[in-house]
Structure 1
Amino acid sequence: MEDLTLEITEEMAGERIDKVVSAMDEDWSRSQIANWVKDGAIKVNGETVKPNYKVRLDDVIIATPPILEELDVVPEDLNLEIVYEDADVLVVNKPKGMVVHPAPGHSQGTLVNGLMHHCTDLSGINGVVRPGIVHRIDKDTSGLLMVAKNDAAHQSLVDQLVKKTVTRKYVALVHGHIPHDKGTIDAPIARDPKERQNMSVVDKGKHAVTHFRVLERFGNFTLVECRLETGRTHQIRVHMKYIGFPLVGDPKYGPRKTMDIGGQALHAEVIGFNHPKTGEYMEFSADMPAEFAELLESLREKD
């Protein structure tokens, strides 16, 4: 894996190094990062620091995580829906049911397999298993992802995620009648101490903020738009469950009696960012999948 470099801005100054670095990749836990700092795999201005080091303006962090077992990733023609593409970035509309990148036991049919067939110029920052992947959405969540085609673009997009300047809006169908038209969920997220395969709201978890507004109500169901301020694993699914309105069809966080629709009713509808080279703000949207739209129509007919 190539070195990943991050220059500290005013917004990041004063934060612990493990917190700042964890924003580079959601798969990296803060305890894992602390070990890398101790081992010298993460340095500040070329020097080793302690795990509780608080970053300063203009610090340069260089992360060289240990190389994990690499998989043989084979390009596949998966007929990806490319919404936008130029020499630096592309935006893809991922279908529901597609995993973003290969993992042990799941090496084919992923978005990365399709991207490698579509183009050969993808950033190498995340290694051969996750070329170009800046952020992810869950397997059964459909919608838009931004992909970096070179390392400079990758770094720019990561910096924008860290600074919280990327626009990410989702539509979700949840159980229950939300009485208020909008709200903000500010609740930290971490691994569930009892169910390690799940995430949950935990006092000492990572800072997580979701803004939502009601789009439509259908008796015991509500359609909401969720805007991510942070991007924690399963954030919308965990946050909506936390306030008592779990996502329809969610096998992990939904109620036992939910609709069998092959996974959560969640679609990444809007992505917006500043172009890595020109600085121009660009925003893209993708209609929800046909089956999601048909589900809503059936609820309107019953309402």
Structure 2
Amino acid sequence: MIKFDWQYTGDSPIYVRTFMRQQGISRTLLKQIKFSGGKICVDGIPVRVTYKMRANQRLEVTLPPEIPSDHLQVSNTSLEILYEDDHFLVVNKPAEVASVPSHIYADDSMVNRVKGYLIRTHAASQVTHIVTRLDRETSGIVIFAKHHFAHTVLDTQLKQHSLKKTYFCVVSGVVKQQHDVIDAPIGREPGSFIKRMVRQDGKSAQTEYWVAKRMAQSTLLRVRLHTGRTHQIRVHLASIGHPLVGDFLYGQQTNPWIHRQALHCASVSFYNPFAQRQITCYAPMPDDFATLIERENSI
């Protein structure tokens, strides 16, 4: 069982449910704790969420047990772990590996690999909670939470845009603007289930970029997302005439040095409330990405 405890240091009495919400426990998780086998105690005594805590009382919350899916296949392929504690697991995803299983990639996505890792390490919860995802061809950092509460914490940070992700990409052509923000709504392209496009009735999307290196026929960009739309970087950069090198969907897959879209999630930064500190992780550029920059720079 996974447990958390906090001491209330306020002056005025406070409802348990209010104090729990202040600690980051969502309404959904609160319901699960109440009705699915969790426990709520104050100074060791079980209480209802309407109980009023007084100064210096201690709240203990036990999360309900999480039941792993029998339908999720286990992969024992090793992981490149960038950060791990009792609450979070940050890994470096190779290109060509899907983030989540599908009917095409059912057995060896990152979710399958993390499930195998949680089982091998006898984790307190063996349910996989993926927080951030990458397209199959995109390399770099993917974050997993080790329990529902940790997932709730990071999901809130994503919605508040306080979880920061930085990407590097190589785009076709020489980008003239040293720095810019692309602010253009994104929606589905008519007739396609997969492809997106900039369209006025789409969802708001903002992508900020800085030129890191100009080469003869391409440009290395550092990119930060301010929203999280599907294919956002790929769509936005294609919309200004600079599609990603190797991107078959929004550009051309004709570069001899890389056989996928040249996009890499290089760093993430988030606040870990359980350790009360900021966590920043970095993933080195993979070999094909580094080779592409070297070759393009030598033209």
Residues 62-88 of structure 1, C-alpha deviations (whole Å, 9 max, x = no match):
xxxxxxxx8822211111101110000
Match of 2:140 among 113, 129, 143: 143
What is residue 264 of structure 2 aligned with on the other side? Answer: 267
What is residue 203 of structure 1 aligned with on the other side? Answer: 200
The Cα shift of 1:290 comes to 1.0
Show the 5 A alignment for 1:152-191. 152-191=149-188
Describe the SS at the equivalent of 2:91: strand
Residues 208-228 of structure 1, C-alpha deviations (whole Å, 9 max, x = no match):
111000000111200000101
Conservation of the 8 A alpha-carbon contact between 1:140 and 1:262: no
Show the 5 A alignment for 1:10-21. none
The Cα shift of 1:279 comes to 3.6
What is residue 110 of structure 2 aligned with on the other side? Answer: 111
Cα root mean square deviation, aligned: 2.0
Conservation of the 8 A alpha-carbon contact between 1:190 and 1:206: yes
Conservation of the 8 A alpha-carbon contact between 1:209 and 1:230: yes
Describe the SS at the equivalent of 2:92: strand
Conservation of the 8 A alpha-carbon contact between 1:123 and 1:148: no
Partners of 2:104 and 2:70 in 1: CA distance: 10
Q: Which runs of 5+ in 1 are unaligned?
A: 1-8, 10-69
Conservation of the 8 A alpha-carbon contact between 1:88 and 1:276: no
Partners of 2:264 and 2:124 in 1: CA distance: 25
Question: Structure 2 length normalisation: TM-score?
Answer: 0.72
* Bigger strand share: 2
Partners of 1:258 and 1:95 in 2: CA distance: 19
The Cα shift of 1:193 comes to 1.7
Query: Does 1:84 find its partner at 2:70?
Result: no
Q: Which runs of 5+ in 2 are unaligned?
A: 1-20, 22-68
Letter in 2 for 1:182: H
Partners of 1:259 and 1:89 in 2: CA distance: 38
The Cα shift of 1:106 comes to 2.3
1:276–1:262 Cα change, 3 Å: farther
Match of 2:287 among 267, 287, 290: 290
Show the 5 A alignment for 1:65-80. 72-80=71-79
1:106–1:241 Cα change, 3 Å: same
Letter in 2 for 1:168: K
1:256–1:284 Cα change, 3 Å: closer
The Cα shift of 1:96 comes to 0.3
What is residue 216 of structure 1 aligned with on the other side? Answer: 213
Conservation of the 8 A alpha-carbon contact between 2:168 and 2:223: yes
The Cα shift of 1:122 comes to 8.1
The Cα shift of 1:259 comes to 4.7
Partners of 2:104 and 2:144 in 1: CA distance: 24
Structure 1 window deviating more from structure 2 (220-229 vs 272-281): it is 272-281
Letter in 2 for 1:100: S
| Identity in percent | 37
Describe the SS at the equivalent of 1:119: helix
Partners of 1:76 and 1:211 in 2: CA distance: 36
1:164–1:99 Cα change, 3 Å: same
1:196–1:87 Cα change, 3 Å: same
Structure 1 window deviating more from structure 2 (248-257 vs 176-185): it is 248-257
What is residue 21 of structure 1 aligned with on the other side? Answer: none
Structure 1 window deviating more from structure 2 (115-124 vs 258-267): it is 115-124
